[in-house]
Amino acid sequence: MVVKPTQAVAVQGSGLGLAICREIVQAHGGAVRAESDGKTGSIFYVSLPCIVNRGR
């Protein structure tokens, strides 16, 4: 999902959302990382392992 600057809303939060997301993703064997250039905002990447069930 991509959020354009015109869609972004300046809302102050508790900051827990990303921490909770990270815990859930890590519990499933994945990772969360972020990149920021300091000007246009941040990009968050979520990686999850792919499990193939060949028995079905």
Torsion of CA 22, 34, 47, 24, to 10 degrees: 10
Q: What is the number of structural domains in the chain?
A: 1
C-alpha Rg value of the chain to the nearest Å: 15
Domain that holds residue 49: 1-56
- State the residue for tokens 């979520």: 46
Question: pLDDT digits over 1-56, tens only?
Answer: 565 666 556 667 777 888 999 999 999 999 999 999 888 888 899 999 998 887 76
